[in-house]
Amino acid sequence: MKKEKKISSAFIYFFGSFGGILFGYDIGVMTGALPFLQTDWHLANAPTITGMITSAVMFGAIFGAAIAGQLSDKLGRRKIILISSLIFALGGILSGLAPNNGSIYLIIVRTILGTAVGAASALVPTYMSEMAPAKARGKLSGLNQTMIVSGMLISYIMDFLLKDLPENWAWRTMLAFAAVPALILFFGVLRLPESPRFLANLGKVDEAREVLGILRSTDQEADEELANIQVTSKEEADAAKNTSWSTLFSGKYRYLVIAGVGVAAFQQFQGANAIFYYIPLIVEKATGSAASNALMWPIIQGAILVIGSLVFLPLADRFNRRTLLTLGGIVMGSSFILPSLLKMMMPNMNNMIIVAFLCLYVAFYSFTWAPLTWVITGEMFPLQIRGRASGLASSFNWIGSWLVGLLFPIMTAAMSQEAVFAIFGIICLLGVMFVRLAVPETRGRSLEEIEEQGTNKHHSSKTVSAKSK
């Protein structure tokens, strides 16, 4: 007799997705809060402090993402997501209660909040994939990206709706409002069971079977999946025993690790987050109008991001990964470099042309580098090194995000915006060269075929090295 489902898959997807929305909200909310904070605390001429406050979340996320996997293996995916949501809520409230001119306080609080952001970015997709049936997992990378950018768009809309409050209340309310979706996530996840994979790894096979029985259509489907989980868990445990950090850069794995980590790093160093965090200040510098009057621009950028993430879903398996990354990188690089060239040739050019090119950048980023980075790193790493290599790629991605958030206001204080964007444009084109030279195509290829490419690359490099001696 078929068991009555106590929890619908729609409920699980909703709260799994809500984790992405919360993650996106905390990433995006400072975009609108910053102009009011700068005025309230007189930070307009303090680019280093501005960069440190903005990038503190990303700095904390480096550590949150790094430790989340190990903690979740000990305490469970669900428990760490619950703890992260409480840190989200507390961090949002404490940010809103920052003492006047309390820059150090706000940096520390946002760094702690960032650990929850990093943990959520790593664990929510993992939990969703372990709860979902196999046939639904292929869409999760794109779906998670859609939820994150939707969270960013929600934060931009909230910033716009709150902009008419007194400036000392506006930015505080924007930051504190993060507690609302955090608490919704907490109470939603309270109703969810633990991941069956985590339960099976602990030897709680009966509990894992009970969870799968609730989630899957038939008992046979649940039993088959449980058997697969047990086999895979044993393979991963055996792989972990024979893997160290030095394994990542030895022999046939070096090529794949450099490729995956390189793509993750380039995604951030190409400058996307400079736009997402600072677009009101960019518009202010371009037009001379107050940044607090430019809060419609983040909404436009957020809408472009959401549309692009939806465009990606049908494109994902129709075009090669390298083709989409190449197309995106070339257009993104051109969108940064062309305004600088036009400004050199036409000094009196309308500076809003720069903003128009930034919209073009965001459009192509949203359906190429933004989602494909995580699709590629999910497909590229063999089982033997997957855990460590994925963690390393995620860490480099967060390091890039932190550095861009920290350095952009410092760079624009020292040189023109056009020059700064031209530097990012060159990095975009270097990313295209990296993809063409160092990244294997993963679409439609098994892990074994991808690993064989690494083996062939290793043998080729050994042959060349031998010939050169």
**What's 57's domain CATH number?**
1.20.1250.20
pLDDT band for position 1 (cuts 50, 70, 90): very low
Give the contacts of 8 (CB within 8 A, at least 6 positions apart). none
What is the count of structural domains for the chain?
A: 2
Same domain (yes/no): 293, 389: yes
Q: Which residue has the higher pLDDT, 141 or 66?
A: 66
Give the contacts of 157 (CB within 8 A, at least 6 positions apart). 299, 302
pLDDT of 136 strictly over 80:
no
pLDDT band for position 67 (cuts 50, 70, 90): confident
pLDDT for 140: 62
pLDDT of 105 strictly over 90:
yes
pLDDT for 368: 93
pLDDT (average), residues 245-270:
87
pLDDT band for position 2 (cuts 50, 70, 90): very low
| Domain region containing 162 | 11-192
Task: Say if 135 falls within a structural domain.
Answer: yes
pLDDT band for position 427 (cuts 50, 70, 90): very high
pLDDT for 113: 93
329 within 8 A of 429, measured Cβ to Cβ: yes
pLDDT of 131 strictly over 80:
no
Name the percent of the chain lying above pLDDT 70: 87
pLDDT band for position 9 (cuts 50, 70, 90): low
Q: Which of 192, 213, 231 is the last residue of a domain?
A: 192
Q: Which residue has the higher pLDDT, 189 or 349?
A: 189
pLDDT (average), residues 427-456:
80
- How far is Cα 125 from Cα 141, in angstroms, rounded to an integer? 8
Encoded tokens for 166: 């007194």
In order of 41, 75, 145, 245, 258, the CA distances from 65 in angstroms are 31, 15, 17, 17, 19
pLDDT of 119 strictly over 70:
yes
Task: Say if 249 falls within a structural domain.
Answer: yes
Q: Which of 126, 159, 192 is the last residue of a domain?
A: 192
Q: Which residue has the higher pLDDT, 468 or 36?
A: 36
Q: Is the dihedral of CA 35, 39, 40, 43 positive or negative?
A: positive
Strands (E), 119-258: none
Same domain (yes/no): 380, 254: yes
Same domain (yes/no): 180, 274: no
pLDDT of 77 strictly over 90:
no
pLDDT (average), residues 262-270:
94
Angle in degrees, CA 366, 276, 125, rounded to 5: 55
Task: Say if 445 falls within a structural domain.
Answer: yes
Same domain (yes/no): 179, 273: no
204: left (phi over 0), alpha (psi -120 to 50) or beta: beta
Same domain (yes/no): 157, 289: no
pLDDT band for position 410 (cuts 50, 70, 90): very high
- How far is Cα 164 from Cα 166, in angstroms, rounded to an integer? 7
State the burial class of residue 134 (Cβ atoms within 10 Å of its Cβ: 0-12, 13-18, 19+): exposed
pLDDT tens across 205-251, in order? 888 888 888 777 788 888 888 888 888 777 767 766 767 777 788 77
Rg (CA), the chain: 23
Same domain (yes/no): 292, 370: yes
pLDDT tens across 447-456, in order? 566 666 666 6
Name the percent of the chain lying above pLDDT 90: 37
The region of weakest confidence among 182-186, 418-422, 457-461 is: 457-461
Same domain (yes/no): 123, 253: no
pLDDT for 294: 77
Task: Say if 202 falls within a structural domain.
Answer: no
Amino acid at 370: A
For 165-186, b/e burial (b = at least 16 CB within 10 A) is eebeebbbbbbbbbbebbbbbb
Same domain (yes/no): 136, 266: no
Q: Which of 50-54, 235-239, 458-462 has the highest mean pLDDT?
A: 50-54
Encoded tokens for 414: 């020292």
pLDDT (average), residues 140-155:
81
Other CB atoms within a 10 A radius of the CB of residue 437 amount to 8
Q: Which of 171, 192, 213 is the last residue of a domain?
A: 192
Same domain (yes/no): 300, 183: no
In order of 55, 271, 276, 279, 341, the CA distances from 48 in angstroms are 10, 18, 18, 17, 28
pLDDT for 254: 86
Task: Say if 465 falls within a structural domain.
Answer: no
pLDDT for 169: 94
Task: Say if 198 falls within a structural domain.
Answer: no
pLDDT for 447: 59
State the burial class of residue 438 (Cβ atoms within 10 Å of its Cβ: 0-12, 13-18, 19+): middle
pLDDT for 135: 61
Nearest to 96 by CA among 172, 33, 162: 172
pLDDT for 3: 44
Same domain (yes/no): 363, 285: yes
pLDDT band for position 457 (cuts 50, 70, 90): low
Q: Which residue has the higher pLDDT, 230 or 16?
A: 230
For the chain, the average pLDDT equals 84
Same domain (yes/no): 276, 173: no
Task: Say if 91 falls within a structural domain.
Answer: yes
Which contiguous run of DSSP H or E holds residue 280? helix 272-287
Same domain (yes/no): 264, 119: no
Question: What's the pTM value of the predicted model, to 2 decimals?
Answer: 0.83
Task: Say if 129 falls within a structural domain.
Answer: yes
Angle in degrees, CA 23, 29, 34, rounded to 5: 145
